[in-house]
Amino acid sequence: MTPREVALDVLMGRRGASRGDVFASIESGSDRALAESLVAGTTKWKGLIDRVLASHSDRPLSSLAPRVLWALRLGVCQFLIMGIPAHASVSTTVELLRRRGEKGFVNGVLRSAARHSGHVEIPSLDEDILEYATSRFSYPEWIARLFIERFGQADGLRLLEFGNGVPTITLRVNSLRTSRDYLLGRLRAQGVMAEPGPVPGSLTLLRGARVTSLPGFLEGEFVVQDPSAIVASLALGARPGEAVWDACAAPGGKTTHLAEMMEGSGTLVATDIDASRADMVRDTLGRMGLDFARVLARDASDPSLGGEPFSHGFDRILLDAPCSGLGVIRRNPDLRWNRRESDIPAMALRQTRLLESVKRYLRPGGVLVYSTCTLTKEENEDTWLRFLSRSADLVPLDPAAALDPGSAGMLSDEPFAGPGYRYILSHRSGSDGFFIARARRV
């Protein structure tokens, strides 16, 4: 199949496997990159693309067959977003369709849109900021409104823009198997362009790459992990000999980081509610030679948790809670269209239950870190401050106090900081948007 055929199938949800597996099955690196870019671009810019299509189609988009509509979106994405010549964009898209009537309709709409591709009608910023933001950056209105109201017009628009960028790939080096300098040398010797990352033990790839083919992957010398996620586990400050619990561990990046910080000494427990995702954690730990960690398929909010290994409590607990994911939109193009504003209250309630549950297993003097990869007030400081108000035995600690200067520099100050918590704002840090909170039990 051609990259465009694969992309159309993926966009229509016709492939049973995960997107990563579908793309990985494409042998040619250039074809794989094209298919990935087509899917990401078409999904990300669907709102703007539909605005263009609606002005050139004599039929309502809602009346079109799914294959025709996604083919149209794929075609517009190529010449409007990716800069592929219009004639190639149109002809290759028309070839994806089987029926003569569909081919003629799609050909006509795309040719009309291509003739006017240099001019897309969107409201001005002064005329209607929300309409401008949703059209210019291709977001549903509720996310644009949330970002602008929460962070102000300038920062809100920059966050929306950042979410449309190409995500960087950051590797965290397994310090128990190699060093950053040595792995950097291995990568460069194989022609992989990389440089030291913004946090300790990290490397940033300057170009996209098939991570599983990189030198050092099979040997467990690194794991893919965004700098913001690295900072969250650094804030916990796990040490050798301690008892540590990673409560919502999948896919396992933070668990491996905690294991490295503990140098293989002590008790490390990783749990996840999903058994298949717990297997992912176990596999990653095995690849990196960190088998001393114990991985369990358990629900951290379950009030019946007990017995080994929970009966003796933990010195440090990391709760990287399930969330709405609005800080990682650039990595998940579908998220902006699939997430609903009405999802937020239920997520905040679940996070509260998780916090109340894991706190029971925190030893006196122990440290709790609560983190999310979202930017909503309800899931972050509202949940955290309400939890603190019910926990007289917890003292909030500034996450920055546990970090090196470079990592601490990624954290925001007021008004996006408070008792024991800090935000990482992606448009300022260049990494994923995160919320990190920290407290000690007295």
Q: Are 215 and 187 in contact (CB under 8 A)?
A: yes
Q: What is the pLDDT along the chain (442 residues), one digit of tens a residue?
A: 889 999 999 999 876 556 777 887 787 888 888 999 999 999 999 999 999 999 999 999 999 999 999 999 999 999 999 999 999 999 999 999 988 889 999 999 999 999 987 677 888 898 899 999 999 999 999 999 999 999 999 999 999 999 999 999 999 999 999 999 999 999 999 999 999 999 999 999 998 888 999 999 999 999 999 999 999 999 999 999 999 999 999 999 999 999 999 999 999 999 999 999 999 999 999 999 999 999 999 999 998 887 889 999 999 999 999 999 999 999 999 999 999 999 999 999 999 999 999 999 999 999 999 999 999 999 999 999 999 999 999 999 999 999 999 999 999 999 999 999 999 999 999 999 999 999 999 9
Strands 243-246 and 267-272: parallel
User: pTM for this one?
Assistant: 0.94
Residue 397 CA to its chain's centroid (Å): 26
Domain architecture of the chain: domains with CATH: 3-115 (1.10.940.10), 137-162 (no CATH), 169-224 (3.30.70.1170), 227-441 (3.40.50.150)
- φ/ψ region of 420 (left if φ > 0, alpha if ψ in -120 to 50, else beta) reads left
The encoded tokens of residue 373 equal 């990869």
* Cα four-point dihedral sign 340, 345, 349, 354: positive
Which residues have C-beta within 8 Å of that of residue 212, sequence separation ≥ 6?
24
What are residue 270's DSSP bridge partners?
A: 246, 295
Known catalytic residue at 373: yes
Q: What pLDDT shows up at residue 29?
A: 80
What is the distance between the alpha carbons of residues 128 and 118, in angstroms, rounded to a whole number?
22
CA dihedral sign of residues 74, 76, 77, 79? positive
Q: Using the Cα atoms of residue 160, residue 163, residue 168 and residue 173 in order, give the sign of their dihedral.
A: positive
